[in-house]
A and B are shown apart, each in its own frame.
Chain A
């Protein structure tokens, strides 16, 4: 295992409008690790994922985030993606009129351009697309569908993992990827994530429940409450939360 620090969050404060959501988050993630961020509703879990991805309507008021030696907060959302960061959205956005194929073609070609790589030929792109669709067990017609339009909850989440597989991120952030999934979809999603694990990459799994963590086993578990990480531990923390609830965990 490569022990390099991939992500270092220090005293991160972030607001939506006037309301402060993150109130001093500290988190260090090394390559090869999977961290779970758990916590009750409204704790700021999704905000943490969104700040890392660069959601424009969030304001960072204090603190810093270093990612792979760079100041992450200085990068635009697209630059963060090029640098290998990927957020699986809790609520994937519908984009009527844009097919999965065109969406991914634009994403892959922009990324390769940013990395100074030549464009994929149409044949190479198609091969990649088919391979990754098979990875999340999507049928061929999936490529022609409009992004997330008329997708079931499970299809939306599988689409997120499909995009993740296409983009091969260094840091994956899964925001409540388990919500609204039946067991089969959950298994497909978890298998997808597990197969993308390498000693070079890392993941943050944001979840309210322990269910997903039975499939994606974390190395470190953080509990986020009211905008702060109040406890950090190993897997045993998941069982404790399951047994005693979030109320039992105090700063």
Chain B
């Protein structure tokens, strides 16, 4: 499937998508350091067999204010939506993630999955994650999950004990955390993101 990659502040990402029967879209959003702002995306899955594979990563290392708002509506049955958002928030940045998955009453056999994970890089960074499911059909498979945490100190100690300097060890941890989204990106963009992390 063609993966559409949008770097916020550089490319104009679609704010609204309507997926007809059998239509499949794969999109990856990248919020680079300094971008922030409000980012809205609404998607309607209106015909059976439509599928959305949406992923994103956000890097807010300084004083960004990021407001991510995602709305995915399953109005037809037999559709699939997957969302995976991962972010690093540091400095005095604030990030909020609002993700609503709506499943209409007759959208049976819907599969909808949403995940949002954030790592805080400082004690002064803040994240608010609100993944929500609103389901009116009864034969569906849906899940959502959100986690917010810090880089694992046990991992850091283990890496350092093998001679990896602290800053490099942290970078490895960040790359590993972002890996599920990073692997959807072209090599040049991955390198750009790696450079941001060091």
Bound-state CA distance A62–B165 (Å) is 27
Bound-state CA distance A92–B169 (Å) is 16
Question: B residues within 8 A CB of A87?
Answer: 161
* B123 adjacent to chain A (CB < 8 Å): no
Question: A residues within 8 A CB of B180?
Answer: 97
Proximity string of chain A (100-134) to chain B, C-beta cutoff 8 Å, 1 when within and 0 when not: 00110011001100100000000000000000000
Using a Cβ cutoff of 8 Å, how many contacts connect chains A and B? 73
Question: A residues within 8 A CB of B155?
Answer: 93, 95
| Shortest distance from the beta carbon of B193 to any chain A beta carbon, whole Å | 14
| Shortest distance from the beta carbon of A167 to any chain B beta carbon, whole Å | 7
* A81 adjacent to chain B (CB < 8 Å): yes
Interface size range on B against A:
20 to 34
Known contacts A78-B166, A110-B165: does B159 contact A97 (CB below 8 Å)? no
Question: B residues within 8 A CB of A55?
Answer: 157
* B172 adjacent to chain A (CB < 8 Å): yes
* A53 adjacent to chain B (CB < 8 Å): yes
Bound-state CA distance A1–B163 (Å) is 28
* A25 adjacent to chain B (CB < 8 Å): no
User: Do B161 and A53 touch across chains, with their CB atoms under 8 A apart?
Assistant: yes
User: Do B163 and A78 touch across chains, with their CB atoms under 8 A apart?
Assistant: yes
User: Do A77 and B176 touch across chains, with their CB atoms under 8 A apart?
Assistant: no
Bound-state CA distance A95–B157 (Å) is 11
* B10 adjacent to chain A (CB < 8 Å): no
Question: In chain B, residues 131-177, which have Cβ atoms closer than 8 Å to a Cβ of chain A?
Answer: 153-155, 157-166, 168-169, 172-173, 175-177
* A67 adjacent to chain B (CB < 8 Å): no
* A98 adjacent to chain B (CB < 8 Å): yes
* B179 adjacent to chain A (CB < 8 Å): yes
User: Do A163 and B157 touch across chains, with their CB atoms under 8 A apart?
Assistant: no
Proximity string of chain B (74-108) to chain A, C-beta cutoff 8 Å, 1 when within and 0 when not: 00000000000000000000000000000000000
Bound-state CA distance A92–B179 (Å) is 22
- A163 nearest CB neighbor, chain B only: B162
Partner of B157, one of A56, A96, A97, A106: A56
- A166 nearest CB neighbor, chain B only: B162
Partner of A56, one of B153, B163, B172: B153
Proximity string of chain A (149-179) to chain B, C-beta cutoff 8 Å, 1 when within and 0 when not: 0000000000000010001000000000000
User: Do B161 and A167 touch across chains, with their CB atoms under 8 A apart?
Assistant: no
Proximity string of chain A (29-55) to chain B, C-beta cutoff 8 Å, 1 when within and 0 when not: 000000000000000000000000111
Question: In chain A, residues 10-42, which have Cβ atoms closer than 8 Å to a Cβ of chain B?
Answer: none
Bound-state CA distance A110–B169 (Å) is 11
Question: A residues within 8 A CB of B163?
Answer: 78, 81-82, 107, 110-111, 114, 167
* A2 adjacent to chain B (CB < 8 Å): no
Question: A residues within 8 A CB of B176?
Answer: 95-98
User: Do A107 and B158 touch across chains, with their CB atoms under 8 A apart?
Assistant: no
- A102 nearest CB neighbor, chain B only: B172
Bound-state CA distance A97–B161 (Å) is 19
Partner of B175, one of A57, A93, A97, A163: A97
Known contacts A81-B161, A93-B154: does B175 contact A76 (CB below 8 Å)? no
User: Which of A102, A110, A163 has the largest number of chain B CB atoms within 10 A?
Assistant: A110
User: Which of A76, A81, A98 has the largest number of chain B CB atoms within 10 A?
Assistant: A98
Bound-state CA distance A52–B92 (Å) is 36
Question: A residues within 8 A CB of B157?
Answer: 55-56, 77, 93
Question: A residues within 8 A CB of B165?
Answer: 78, 110
Bound-state CA distance A97–B160 (Å) is 17
Query: Could you give 24 example pairs across A and B, Cβ below 8 Å?
Result: A54-B160, A54-B161, A55-B157, A77-B157, A77-B160, A78-B161, A78-B163, A78-B165, A78-B169, A81-B160, A87-B161, A93-B158, A95-B158, A95-B159, A95-B172, A96-B176, A98-B172, A98-B175, A103-B162, A106-B168, A107-B162, A110-B164, A167-B162, A167-B163
Q: A78-B161, A95-B172 are in contact. List 11 more A-B contacts (CB 8 A).
A: A76-B166, A77-B160, A81-B161, A81-B162, A93-B155, A95-B158, A102-B172, A103-B159, A103-B164, A106-B169, A107-B163
